A and B are shown apart, each in its own frame.
Chain A
Amino acid sequence: MNPTVDDILQTAQELRWKVGNNFHEQLMETIYTEAAQIADRSVTYPGKKPRFDLDRTIDGIVTSRLWGFPLMILLFTVVFWITISGANVPSDWIARLLIGIIYPMLKTGAATIGLPWWLSGLLIDGMYLATAWVVSVMLPPMAIFFPLFTLLEDFGYLPRVAFNLDNWFKKSGAHGKQALTMMMGFGCNAAGMVATRIIDSPRERLIAMITNNFALCNGRWPTQILIATLFIGAMVPAQLAGLISALAVVGVALLGVMLSFGVSWSLSKSVLKGEISTFSLELPPYRPPRIWQTITTSMIDRTFFVLWRAVVFAMPAGAIIWLGANIHVGNLSLVEYLINFLNPLGWLIGLNGIILVAYIVAIPANEIVIPTILMLTVLTSNLSGVGDGAGIMFQTDQVETMALFKTGGWTLLTGLNLMLFSLMHNPCSTTIYTMYRESGSLKWTLVATLLPLCMGFVVTFVVAQLWRLF
């Protein structure tokens, strides 16, 4: 009679006692021994060993004590510089095309076919403009940053960066590869979330995801730069203004990096204690990057992927802003009720109701914070002659903007706290959604969402109280 299934499993169980504890080890040893034998038989090394080992030479330079860090800083500075300075021009073109040319055409078109004002307002002034804004602000920097980053990745340099920086990340309980996901986060936090896949230790990956938001993404750079220029740069003599405001922005970004380390450290010592942690970092051989393929794949994989999600969220956001500003109950629009409701809280943390509403509206994309603030300020202060009508996001020049802020009652404290709050608040909905998809955990997604928000409230509150005290 044939043995039954239970009998087989029973036998296996008994034999396990016989083969002992290190069966797995013996098995691996057997397999590797055979792999080595087979490889030995078919691998030969014809020709002489080349005198010059390119990989080793490059490694010798990029990980050397002398050149390792300066080279790294130089490379990344160049990447960010090209991104920021190179993005302005195409951003401007796209804005001119989408807002300057297509927008009036759509408006005329709508009038010609006789669309009711509310429908054309909702579709064109709300949804279209919000989307156009997001595309023109987000697309160019991402289309420059991601391919450059991907080239470095393809070449094999990025693992060396993780190798160089790991010691510091280790001290905060994180993985050296977090340096790269953070860097990716400077481009876009959602892309940074996806990039955490390269971290194969569950605990360190979670840490990298939760702290990714502290890397100032390119949707927040414009806010930082504008506010720093208007408020901090204005405090010093004109010839120093540029330098000081640039330093302020860099300071906020560095504060983000430090927060990242600090939060990583406390997470690894508290809630994530007991999670499995392993370290593995393979340094692959250098490979000549294929420029064209890199550009196309990184455009499709990262740039359009992120942009698409942003657009998907920007359209309904545009609709909501427009509706909020145009539906009136009594004398006030819905959005004004919300602003009045949030004003006390805003005052408490050195901001105001408009800014808080803007951050609610801007959950889909941080890029729309400033235009929303401007639009809402116009709306509530009943100014006329600026921009052209409720519900439209527009760009104005700096003088006009500053004047608007002044009418809104802004002080240096408002500017400072806005910069801090821009660093520490919930990630955008794209990032939240990506985190949920990648981690599969509602709990950790909530932590990643609420932790920076709470920190933002606490920090701005403390700053505001201290400010008013002195």
Chain B
Amino acid sequence: MNKLTDTTERIFSEDALKHIYECEQEHRRPTMQSVAGSVQITLGKTADLLTKMASRNLLQMKGEEFQLTDEGRDYALQIVRAHRLWERYLADETGFAETEWHELADRHEHSMSPTEIEALAAKLGHPTHDPHGDPIPTAKGEFVPHGGQPLTVMSVGDMARIVHLEDEPETVYAQIVAEGLYVGLEVRLTEISPERIRFRSNGNEYTLAPVFALNISAVPLPKNHVMASSDCERLTCLEPGQSGKVVNISPTCRGPERRRFMDLGILPGTLITAEMRSPSGDPTAYRIRGALIALRHEQGNLINVKRKGKNDNDNQQ
């Protein structure tokens, strides 16, 4: 692969490659203007950049139109790979907030050599998806697309599982994160209109503007699908003395925290009883598989349970 030596030029051309690649994926046609906008340089510089890239055999130019060569596509995929691996790393191995991942990854994707990328992948255990649900291309550039479609093209009554959340632009993504939406969440659409999209999940109702819904991709679920998390609530809703069975650990809980939960035996079907609350209000101690474990409020919110009332017969799962 011919690496461009000059650092800023490398960043520009890599950003351009990424942009053209994304357009290709979404079946849009990249233009001089769109490249200039995405790389954030003037049109004149963009023209120079594209010519240079063409001379390096990354692009094919036909007058105003241009498209990636196979080599250019491979290169673009490696940058995408670096970017998504970084996001995975930030999500799993650090304590940075979700909204900071994209920008940090954007900074690191250009500075990595292929060896460093491989080392990072190995360190993370060769992950297959980034935290937003995007597949991470392999070193050979292969990947399976998430196969979802935007929520906006579905119809009322459909059930779907979110498979991807677009992390650009940042303001839209921040809003999606703030709503508590995540990859893996199962939803049932209740309203689709030009003004808003409405859906239910986990007993909550969500209302989004179509701009936001456009950035959420989901795969439809079969009509007879039983929503995994229909009438469940958060573990923190249990008062001392009450019990519930774990439905799932929220997918927003990742990395060491998630594995620790599983090590403690918090898995679907596990019976958890709230035992006592700290006199300072938090944490709460829960009886889990015979052991008494204290969980903080934010941790309890990551665990969905189905309350076990006194009148419940126990044979339902």
Contacts and interface: CB of A to CB of B under 8 A. Distances in A.
Report A-B touching, CB under 8 Å: yes
Interface string A267-304: 00000011111111111110000000000000000000
Interface stretch (A19-27, A143-151, A256-264, A461-469): A19-27
A24 B259 contact: yes
A275 B256 CA distance: 12
Contacts of B129: 21
A25 B95 CA distance: 22
Given A16-B126, A29-B267, A164 B278 contact: yes
Nearest to A69: B279
A59 B275 contact: yes
B267 A28 contact: yes
A51 interface: no
A278 B256 contact: yes
Contacts of A396: none
Contact of A168 (B128, B256, B280): B280
B239 to A, nearest CB: 14
Contacts of B96: 273-274
Contacts of B296: 166, 170, 279
Given A282-B292, A282-B294, A20 B128 contact: yes
Given A273-B95, A276-B256, A280-B260, A166 B285 contact: no
Contacts of B283: 163, 166-167, 176, 279, 281
A17 B144 contact: yes
B94 interface: yes
Interface residues of B, number: 39
B228 to A, nearest CB: 12
A32 B278 contact: no
Interface in B245-263: 255-257, 259-260, 262-263
A271 to B, nearest CB: 12
A13 B270 CA distance: 31
Contact of B279 (A64, A170, A277, A280): A64
A32 B264 CA distance: 10
B95 A28 contact: no
A323 interface: no
B293 A283 contact: yes
A28 B262 contact: yes
Given A276-B95, A279-B299, A283-B285, A166 B128 contact: no
B37 interface: no
A165 interface: yes
Contacts of B276: 59-60, 63
A194 to B, nearest CB: 23
B141 interface: no
A65 interface: yes
B93 interface: yes
B138 interface: yes
B180 interface: no
B226 interface: no
A164 B264 CA distance: 21
A17 to B, nearest CB: 6
A203 interface: yes
A9 B126 CA distance: 12
Interface in B267-317: 267-268, 270, 275-283, 285, 289, 291-296, 299
A17 B93 CA distance: 22
Given A16-B128, A275-B95, A281 B294 contact: yes
26 contacts: A20-B128, A24-B262, A25-B262, A28-B262, A32-B267, A59-B276, A59-B285, A63-B276, A69-B279, A163-B278, A163-B285, A164-B279, A164-B280, A166-B280, A166-B283, A167-B281, A167-B283, A274-B95, A275-B95, A276-B93, A276-B95, A277-B95, A280-B293, A281-B293, A281-B294, A283-B285
Interface of A: 13, 16-17, 20-21, 24-25, 28-29, 32, 36, 56, 59-60, 63-65, 68-69, 163-168, 170, 176, 203, 273-285
Given A167-B282, A279-B296, 7 more contacts: A32-B270, A56-B275, A166-B282, A275-B94, A280-B264, A283-B285, A284-B292
- Can you list the 6 inter-chain pairs with the closest CB atoms, starting with the nearest? A167-B280, A68-B279, A281-B294, A283-B292, A28-B262, A167-B282
